[in-house]
């Protein structure tokens, strides 16, 4: 066969994998948006079998042969083909070290664990989830031993979600961030110049919140011909295929911020996926570069746009129309101050911009301790509560508001949490650079004209998919290596102005 025949066969295999992944994604979406609980065990078995089939394709002898042939003739092939082959090789090398029966057992376990986590969270009882978590951790420790690692076992997990980022890098970045914001949070907490937030907890109907969520999605350019909005316990965005990128949210009639800002956050994720180069569809390049780059897009929309005072110049009247009894006596500037309130709270997804990074740093330090064998599963709730006391000055009153609040561990996503803080750093650095090209950034937001912003992000980030490593995307877009100082300057400037 000639080289292009091998190339076609390789991409046919990738397309076949994408078909399986689409079915698995749809099953996961269904599980998390209202599937009957009685079907969860059988659904878990189905997901496990389909995932095992994907595993077989990705680790097949033929896949290895095709990868080797293509990489041996890399100079004769298009750049995207070479990159796809390199990523496939990484997946092959990664997965081949895990016995197939163990992988299938692990996938089934994660599906069952998510259901157990939901039940444990509802009952606020960590002991209901602990046996599943112990098994998940044991599996991941075993996988790390198969893969091998440099310097720290946790690096093997970080590489899955944020290639190129290590414990050494994170320890330095997070140390600088903690040093800057912990004293600031203390000053903000002690400040007498606090916003009035009493109106936030007044009733805002679920129906109106949903209508407003749909409205904001359309305003930002989310394509409803290629997506939909649904309700879930833990909000997420998911890509079924390039033409089907779904958004979910959670409604709280006593705190509209959960749905409004949560929907806008997931909108950022979805717009990223909807604007990846169509030429990459059906390949392993048609995905976000990393979870951190993904998070940079959701945080950009949620914080740098939707929490910007200029955004509410354009849209505050929509809030008043949606819930007039709640907002009719609230001035726009008081509303803006209230939705930018900073104070230590227990729930990560409801945290303000200033305290949010500490929620992530706490999880990072706990996960690092888990995989350094410094803490047992039984000791995790106490460690969690202690870190919240030490960093934020508060102690969670229950498991539901503490260690059980996130779904990530139930899904086996150890190493994921640091991406949230990295995404915040990426977003701040992108915003800093964007102002050179779009100095009228605030005026665009004030007019509700988001297209130039979306186009800039598509050119610099979205279109590339996985063609580039995350740190390369940041360097190419901004002209420098990742620099945490842009986030620190943003937070110190914003919250000093609001509170001090």
Distances (CA, A) of 85 to 223, 281, 310: 31, 15, 45
Helix (H, G, I), strand (E, B) or coil at 29: helix
Rounded to whole angstroms, how far apart are CA atoms 227 and 245?
A: 5
Which residue in 280, 289, 297 sits closest to 470, CA to CA? 289
The answer on whether 464 is annotated among ligand-binding residues is no
3-state DSSP of 117-177: HHHHHHHCCHHHHHHHHHHHHHHHHHHHHHHCCCCCCHHHHHHHHCCCCCHHHHHHHHHHH
The answer on whether 269 is annotated among ligand-binding residues is yes
Phi, psi (rounded to 5 degrees) for 263: -65, -45
The answer on whether 162 is annotated among ligand-binding residues is no
CB atoms under 10 Å from CB of 5, counted, come to 9
176 is catalytic: no
Contacts (Cβ under 8 Å, ≥6 apart) of 269? 237, 247, 294, 297, 298
Rounded to whole angstroms, how far apart are CA atoms 373 and 155?
A: 14
Which residue in 467, 465, 439, 464 sits closest to 453, CA to CA? 439
Strand partners, 239: 245
Which residue in 478, 388, 471 sits closest to 170, CA to CA? 471
Distances (CA, A) of 333 to 188, 318, 330, 337: 19, 15, 8, 6
CB atoms under 10 Å from CB of 346, counted, come to 19
Exposed, middle or buried, 163 (CB in 10 Å: 0-12/13-18/19+)?
A: middle
To which H or E segment does residue 99 belong? Answer: none
Active-site residue, from 266, 302, 341, 367: 266
Q: Which residues are annotated as a binding site for Zn(2+)?
A: 265, 269, 295
Residues recognised as catalytic: 266
């Amino acid at each position: 066969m000639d080289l292009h025949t091998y190339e076609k066969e390789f991409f046919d295999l990738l397309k076949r994998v994408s078909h399986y992944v689409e079915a698995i994604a749809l099953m996961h979406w269904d599980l998390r948006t209202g599937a009957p609980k009685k079907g969860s065990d059988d659904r878990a078995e189905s997901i496990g079998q389909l995932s095992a089939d994907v595993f077989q394709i990705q680790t097949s002898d033929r896949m290895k042969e095709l990868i080797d042939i293509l990489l041996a003739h890399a100079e004769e092939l298009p750049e995207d083909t070479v990159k796809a082959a390199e990523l496939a090789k990484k997946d092959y090398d990664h997965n081949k070290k895990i016995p197939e029966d163990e992988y299938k057992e692990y996938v089934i376990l994660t599906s069952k664990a998510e259901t157990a986590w939901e039940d444990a969270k509802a009952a606020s009882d960590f002991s209901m989830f602990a046996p599943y978590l112990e098994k998940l951790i044991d599996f991941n420790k075993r996988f790390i031993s198969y893969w091998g690692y440099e310097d720290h076992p946790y690096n093997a997990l970080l590489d899955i979600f944020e290639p190129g980022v290590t414990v050494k890098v994170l320890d330095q970045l997070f140390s600088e961030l903690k040093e800057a914001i912990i004293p600031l949070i203390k000053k903000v907490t002690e400040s007498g110049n606090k916003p009035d937030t009493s109106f936030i907890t007044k009733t805002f109907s679920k129906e109106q919140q949903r209508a407003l969520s749909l409205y904001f999605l359309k305003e930002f350019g989310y394509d409803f011909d290629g997506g939909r909005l649904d309700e879930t316990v833990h909000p997420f965005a998911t890509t079924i295929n390039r033409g089907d990128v779904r958004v979910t949210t959670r409604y709280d009639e006593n705190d509209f911020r959960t749905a409004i800002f949560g929907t806008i956050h997931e909108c950022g994720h979805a717009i990223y996926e909807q604007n990846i180069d169509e030429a990459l569809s059906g390949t392993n390049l048609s995905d976000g570069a990393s979870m951190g780059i993904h998070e940079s897009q959701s945080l950009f929309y949620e914080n740098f746009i939707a929490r910007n005072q200029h955004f509410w110049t354009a849209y505050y009247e929509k809030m008043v129309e949606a819930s007039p009894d709640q907002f009719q006596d609230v001035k726009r500037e008081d509303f803006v101050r209230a939705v930018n309130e900073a104070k230590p709270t227990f729930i990560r997804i409801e945290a303000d911009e200033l305290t949010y990074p500490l929620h992530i740093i706490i999880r990072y330090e706990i996960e690092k301790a888990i995989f350094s064998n410094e803490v047992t599963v039984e000791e995790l709730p106490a460690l969690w509560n202690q870190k919240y006391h030490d960093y934020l000055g508060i102690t969670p009153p229950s498991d539901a508001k503490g260690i059980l609040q996130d779904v990530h561990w139930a899904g086996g996503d150890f190493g994921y949490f640091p991406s949230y803080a990295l995404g915040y750093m990426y977003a701040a650095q992108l915003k800093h650079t964007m102002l050179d090209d779009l100095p009228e950034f605030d005026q665009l937001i004030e007019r509700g004209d988001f297209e130039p912003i979306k186009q800039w992000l598509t050119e610099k980030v979205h279109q590339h998919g996985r063609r580039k490593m995350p740190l390369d995307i940041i360097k190419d877009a901004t002209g420098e290596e990742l620099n945490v100082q842009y986030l620190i300057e943003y937070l110190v400037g914003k919250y000093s102005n609001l509170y001090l």
